[in-house]
Chains A and B, each alone.
Chain A
Amino acid sequence: QVQLQASGPGLVKPSEPLSLTCTVSGDSIGSYYWSWVRQPAGKGLEWIGRIDTYGNTTYNPSLKSRVHMSVDTSKNQFSLTLTSVTAADTALYSCARDLYYFDNWGQGPLVTVSS
C-alpha cells in the first residue's frame, strides 16, 4: 500500500515562497502522476497541479504563474513551490497519487501565511 507524507513549514511570510515536499513510500514514484491539492479551512478542495516522473507538469491556470513542481526519483519525492504568497494561500496542502483520480493521499501540513 503506497503511503504519502507531505512536509514543510507551517508558517510562511507574505510575498515569500511556500515550499513543500511529498515523500512516497511503499511503491516506486515511477510510472505515475502525482498531484498537489489544497483546502482552506472550511472550504472546498482546489487542485494545484500534477507532475510525472519525467518532470512534465500541468498546473491550475489560476495558479500557473506562481507554481513550480519538481520530482526527485532517487529520493521518491516530489515537491511544490508557490511564490509570492498571500493570506489567500493559507490552506491545508496535500499530495496525492494521480491516476486522473486521486487514490492515495498524504495530508498536511496546514500552511499559514502571516507576518
Chain B
Amino acid sequence: QSALTQPASVSGSPGQSITISCTGTSSDVGGYNYVSWYQQYPGKAPKVMIYDVSNRPSGISYRFSGSKSGNTASLTISGLQAEDEADYYCSSYTNSGTNVFGTGTKVSVL
C-alpha cells in the first residue's frame, strides 16, 4: 500500500490559518470516513488531533478542524500559534482492512 501524499512543509505567521492536504485514493481516503490526523513533536509520541474526518477528541483546541472532499482530506489550523510548530500526519483506513499513514508535513510558524 502506498503512503498518503502530504506536502513536505507548510508555514504561516502567528494568527494565520494554514491547511494541510492528505491525498489518497478511493480505496482509502475517498472510500471511508476513517481519516485521522496526528501532531508529533520531536522525540514524542503522536497525538490524535482529528478522527473520523472531522471529529475533535476531548481537550483538542477548536482551532484544529478536519474535512474531506473526494480522495483528499484536509487539516486546517486557524489562529496559528508557536506551539503548533510540529510534524503532522494523516492516516486512513483502507479497503484491505489496513491503515496507512501520510508522508508527513512539517508545520513552521514564521
Q: Please list the residues of chain A having a beta carbon within 8 angstroms of any beta carbon in chain B.
A: 35, 37, 44-47, 49-50, 58-62, 94, 98-103, 105-107
List B contacts of A59 (CB < 8 A): 98
Report how far A14 CA is from B11 CA in the complex, Å: 40
Q: Are A58 and B48 in contact (CB under 8 A)?
A: no
List A contacts of B104 (CB < 8 A): 44-45
Q: Are B45 and A44 in contact (CB under 8 A)?
A: no
Report how far A103 CA is from B47 CA in the complex, Å: 7
List A contacts of B93 (CB < 8 A): 100
- A contact face: mostly helix, strand, loop, or mixed: strand
Which of A61, A62, A98, A107 is B44 in contact with, Cβ under 8 Å?
A: A107
- Would A100 and B34 be within 8 Å (CB), given that A47-B91, A60-B1 are in contact? yes
Q: Which residue of A lies closest to B96 (CB)?
A: A61
Which of B3, B48, B99 is A103 in contact with, Cβ under 8 Å?
A: B48
List residues of B (84-109) whose CB comes within 8 Å of A's CBs. 89, 91, 93, 96-104
Q: Are B99 and A100 in contact (CB under 8 A)?
A: yes
Report how far A60 CA is from B97 CA in the complex, Å: 9
Apart from A61-B98, A98-B99, A103-B48, list 5 A-B contacts with CB within 8 A: A35-B99, A58-B98, A62-B1, A101-B91, A102-B48
